[in-house]
Structure 1
Amino acid sequence: MCRWLAYSGSPVLLEDLLYKPENSLVVQSRHSRLGAETINGDGFGVGWYGALEEPGIYHSTEPAWNDRNLREISAHSAAGRVFAHIRASTGTDVQQANCHPFRHGRWLWMHNGSIAEFRAVKRDLMLAVAPALYPEIEGSTDSEVFFFLALTFGLEDDPPGAVARAVGLIEETGRRHGVEHPIQMTVATTDGATTWAFRYSSVGESRSLFHSTDISTLRHQYPDNPVLHGLSDDARLVVSEPLGDLRGAWREVPESTCLVVRGGREELREFAPTPALG
């Protein structure tokens, strides 16, 4: 599968997220503690919001631990909202177009998990993508098709509802093809102002997902920790696995949950698929 992180808060250098933590995303690319695979070396991607309306993205098919350009860019680039993803392919090609996060306008999307028996259901799912959006699909992954289904079902207006309808279609299509457990997912998406993260699977045993706790509280608990004093009070992280072992710094996102991060607040909502409309 994959590992990812979503950061929002005061601008930080990318290397502070990707390299410096004890269990950083680059460390996880070689030694994931909680992932389905230990190695996540089938490429990576970073998306961030800067001076332009649309976010920037950097994709590479190199393993994250082996990309000199990522190290260089990370040491000189800062942003207040960052998506980063390391990939372990579930069968599709290792190519830049298959690296997360995916982008559409101001929106970013990344996924850990899979659509089961994707080759068997791919045609039906692709035909459900809105005709105006279909030409924008560049790669061959289930994750990108998932993104464009969510866009088709109204992601830009109602992210939780759109993802619920997309998952509903994926499950209905999979079961029509004899797939018992059609989807496994943790997903993050953002419009640059709010982050939505989802944890769900058809089997009810989803991949790991955590969010950080309140930074100001952690400062009181750990007054001598310099990392905590470099972050703003509204800094929040959503991660596939904790970036360190600081006690009280992380909470697990419950099964079948949508986490909404806006400003310095997070909200947990129940998540369940709904029938696709139309």
Structure 2
Amino acid sequence: MYLEDLIFHQEHSIVSQSLAATQSAWVTNDDGFGVAWYTQRTTPGLFKDVLPAWNDANLRSLAAHIRTRLFFAHVRATTGTAINRSNCHPFIWQNWTFMHNGKIGNWHDCRKSVEDLIDHVHYPHREGTTDSEALFLVALSKGLIHDPIRALQSTLRDVTKIMERHNADEPMRISCALTNGREMWAFRFSSDDQSPSMYYGSPHTRAGENQLHAITTIASEPSDSDAAHWFKVEERNGVHWTERGLEHFEISI
């Protein structure tokens, strides 16, 4: 499929969500965007900018010409960190890609302690100031490439302890996804049972019309109004997608 099949050519595409999201705490997500896509190369391609997604002609042109079997797209509404390209999602390390909706509560108070969890191998790859990038690097430090579910759960457990030590009065809200270019994992967790929404489904696309297996999408909001092919991921749950299908798992910290 081409990037535009899902980024633009949907009833409620991610570009339209950047202008008018229906289930997000932020209706307008105009603090930048990013797209990471996989081809025959080992590492993914990456395009990020601070312009609103709906107002970037380069994104529209690239999306019409890039063909891929797996990609991540993200529109950003900052929770307090600077608006710059380094803080835009997705984040990449080798063949891994990560993106996140939500926040670590009282991030400015907890930031140093969270960053101390990043090992010396991965800390040099810290480019921005967001809690999202820090979560990714901590998870990598905890063995994400070998066991993503265990690494993310361990990361959430340690971040929760840090927030408690700093007497954080804001919640931790995590709705995130990651991939190695072959499989995808998505997690939904919060300390107040109000994490950003997450769905999975198989929206209608031009690419999927003549294929036996419909394209599977994991998204913060359904990209069309056909409720029959969208399913909600519940709090403290996650999904693991492979070409063989999709499995659910519980998140316990």
TM-score range, shorter chain: over 0.9
Could you list the runs of 5+ residues in structure 1 that have no partner in the other structure? 1-11, 219-224, 274-278
Percent identical among aligned pairs is 34
Contact 1:181 1:203 in 2 (8 A): no
Q: Structure 1: which amino acid aligns with 2:251?
A: F
What residue number does 2:79 align with?
90
Contact 2:95 2:181 in 1 (8 A): yes
Query: Any idea what the Cα deviations from partners look like across 1:184-229, whole Å, max 9, x if unmatched?
Result: 010100001110000110112221100005x8xx9xxxxxx96751
What is the rounded CA distance, in whole Å, between the counterparts of 2:106 and 2:180 in structure 1?
A: 30
Contact 1:61 1:99 in 2 (8 A): yes
Q: Please tell me whether residue 79 in structure 1 is matched to residue 59 in structure 2.
A: no
What is the rounded CA distance, in whole Å, between the counterparts of 2:35 and 2:244 in structure 1?
A: 22
What is the rounded CA distance, in whole Å, between the counterparts of 1:121 and 1:186 in structure 2?
A: 19
Following superposition, the deviation at residue 160 of structure 1 comes to: 0.3
What residue number does 2:209 align with?
229
Q: Please tell me whether residue 249 in structure 1 is matched to residue 229 in structure 2.
A: yes
Q: TM-score, normalised by structure 1?
A: 0.88
Equivalent residue in structure 1 for 2:59, among 70, 89, 99: 70
What is the rounded CA distance, in whole Å, between the counterparts of 1:256 and 1:58 in structure 2?
A: 31
Equivalent residue in structure 1 for 2:127, among 138, 154, 164: 138
Matched residue pairs, number? Answer: 253
What residue number does 2:92 align with?
103
Q: TM-score, normalised by structure 2?
A: 0.96
Superposition misfits of 4+ residues, deviation over 6 angstroms: none
* 1:38-77 alignment, distance < 5 Å: 38-77=27-66
Query: Any idea what the Cα deviations from partners look like across 1:123-157, whole Å, max 9, x if unmatched?
Result: 11111110121111000101000100100111000
Measured on the aligned residues, the alpha-carbon RMSD in Å equals 1.6
Q: Please tell me whether residue 267 in structure 1 is matched to residue 247 in structure 2.
A: yes
Query: Any idea what the Cα deviations from partners look like across 1:211-270, whole Å, max 9, x if unmatched?
Result: 005x8xx9xxxxxx9675145505210000000001301000111112000004000111
Residues 191 and 66 of structure 1, relative CA distance in 2, 3 Å threshold: same
What residue number does 2:3 align with?
14
Query: Any idea what the Cα deviations from partners look like across 1:74-103, whole Å, max 9, x if unmatched?
Result: 001110001000000001111110011100
What is the rounded CA distance, in whole Å, between the counterparts of 1:181 and 1:169 in structure 2?
A: 16
What is the rounded CA distance, in whole Å, between the counterparts of 1:48 and 1:227 in structure 2?
A: 16
What residue number does 1:201 align with?
190
* Larger RCO (CA within 8 A; separation ≥ 6): 1
Could you list the runs of 5+ residues in structure 2 that have no partner in the other structure? none
What residue number does 2:142 align with?
153
Equivalent residue in structure 1 for 2:18, among 24, 29, 33: 29
**Which deviates the most, 176-185 or 129-138?**
176-185
Contact 1:234 1:264 in 2 (8 A): no
Following superposition, the deviation at residue 168 of structure 1 comes to: 0.5
Following superposition, the deviation at residue 51 of structure 1 comes to: 2.7
Q: Please tell me whether residue 211 in structure 1 is matched to residue 200 in structure 2.
A: yes
